[in-house]
Amino acid sequence: MIDHGRPPKPTAFVLAGGGSFGAIQVGMMHALAKHGVVADLVVGSSVGAINGAYYAGDPTLKGVLGLEAIWRGLKRQDVFPVTWRSLLGFAWRRDFLIPHDGIRRLIEDHLPYRNLQDAALPLHIVTTDFISGESIVLSEGSAVEAILASTAIPGAFTPVHYRGHFLADGAISSNTPVRVAVRMGAKRLIVLPTGHACAVNDHPPAGAVANALHALTLLIARQLVAELEGLASDIEYVVVPPLCPLVGSPYDFSRTDDHIERAIISTDAWLAQNGLDRHGLIPHEARPHSH
């Protein structure tokens, strides 16, 4: 980080959820890494858990470019493999619509470590105890199980039974887990939100999973503002502006290339305008709004 004549504060990258809009975070990390901005620890929830885990494994521009290549090759069926078989299973009272196979395969094929404590940076994955609603933070143990749990959207994926808990999407309890980052020792937060589809038409997205993801991104935007405004005064934070206007659905992976490229350009511009020094500001793009 840039030295301003004071001891550096432990800095966390805080990555929110947002389905396919997670590609926006990849563009943000590309620009940050290119400008030499690095984290001391990483906290991720939902799709932010996936991106955070890959970044913590190789927190360099080369590592981000590897994650970027994975994202550019993704199709919806790789993450949300809805088939006639899964639909029939759901109709016969199964408690989930989509198997975890797609996300499990992505993690096992590409993540360069197996346990969270083996990442290059301290990594904290936020999940939700599906019985109590409390946040459960995983910092060691199986990376696959932690990420599967943090991305388990209720109704779409079954909760993950792990360490005596039924764990589900971190979005339920702490989608932008800034307070978790503070608990883990961060004194400076760089928040990477995914944004929400602020420029959609007058109709909600089509499909159950698309609607659930759209609702979660709206929740994220409101929760982010509330959590940041409630932080103690000794905690510095900056919020990287998400894309605006943003169209599409967090269930749609066809816009990934565009999301990454736009996020690189917009984050480059934000850095050039000394965005890292604008502590305590929540940009308009990160607040709930419409067009």
Per-residue pLDDT of the chain (291 residues; tens, 9 = 90+): 444 455 678 999 999 888 899 999 999 999 999 999 999 999 999 999 999 999 999 999 999 999 999 999 998 777 765 544 444 444 444 555 677 888 999 999 999 999 999 999 999 999 999 999 899 999 999 999 999 999 988 777 888 999 999 999 887 777 678 999 999 999 999 999 987 766 665 565 555 555 666 666 666 667 788 888 889 999 999 999 999 888 877 878 999 999 999 999 999 999 999 999 999 998 888 877 677
Whether residue 145 contacts residue 152, with contact meaning beta carbons closer than 8 Å, is answered with no
- Tell me the CA distances in angstroms from 204 to 21, 171, 207, 251, 253, one per residue in order: 17, 20, 9, 12, 17
Helix axes 256-272, 22-34, angle to 10 degrees: 40
Q: What is the reported pLDDT for 88?
A: 43
- Answer whether 0.75 is exceeded by the pTM: yes
